[in-house]
Amino acid sequence: MDFVSIRIITDDVARLVDFYERATGVEASRFSEDFAELRTASATLAIGSTRTVTLFAPGAARPAGNRSVIIEFLVDDVDGVHQNLSGFVEDFVKEPTTMPWGNRSLLLRDPDGNLVNFFTPVSPAAIEKFAR
């Protein structure tokens, strides 16, 4: 089994796709006004409109209601990401901070309020864990 993607349900696909393209530097594949994907080497971030939920199970997902999941991106320079996003991101939850487990992390909220963590391994153990 492979974990391949996570999907965010939103009322405004274009706004969220624009945000993630700018935040990650990854260009999205926009399949329709209701669905897009940002693909990286290891996983895909899918963004779907509330209209797509009815195809699965009506009412099964609500936009802007997440309070338990953090979307994470491994980056080469978290401080550089923070600098690039300053003035663009409206809600920085935590400025770049080195965590006890060895990652330097930047926590923010996307336009729908989802938590997003950009991190760079900085301790020897964390660097080894995420060696590419």
Q: Say if 87 falls within a structural domain.
A: yes
User: Same domain for 78 and 124?
Assistant: yes
Mean pLDDT value across residues 48-77: 93
Residue 59 has pLDDT above 90, yes or no: no
Mean pLDDT of 80-86: 96
Average pLDDT over the chain, rounded to an integer? 95
Q: Identify whether residues 26 and 73 lie together within a single domain.
A: no
Note the helical H segments in 25-66: 50-56
Q: Are 79 and 130 found together in one domain?
A: yes
Of the pLDDT bands very low, low, confident and very high (cuts 50, 70, 90), residue 117 is very high
Residue 11, pLDDT score: 96
Does some domain include residue 116? yes
Confidence of residue 56 (pLDDT cuts 50, 70, 90): confident
Q: Say which DSSP state 111 is in.
A: T
- Could you tell me if 43 and 95 lie in one domain? no
Lowest mean pLDDT, pick from 8-22, 57-71, 112-126: 57-71
- Residue 60 included in any domain: no
SS3 76: coil
Q: How far is CA 85 from the centre of its chain?
A: 13
Range of the domain at 102: 68-132
How far, in Å, CA of 27 to CA of 37, rounded? 9
130 shares a domain with 80: yes
The fraction of the chain above a pLDDT of 70, given in percent, is 99
7 and 45, same structural domain? yes
In a domain, 62, yes or no: no
Considering its fold, how many domains does the chain have in total? 2
pLDDT at 18 over 80: yes
Mean pLDDT for 105-126 is: 97
DSSP 127: H
* pLDDT (average), residues 50-60: 90
| CA–CA gap between residue 82 and residue 87 (Å, rounded) | 10
Confidence of residue 97 (pLDDT cuts 50, 70, 90): very high
Instruction: Name which residue leads in pLDDT, 39 or 67.
Output: 39
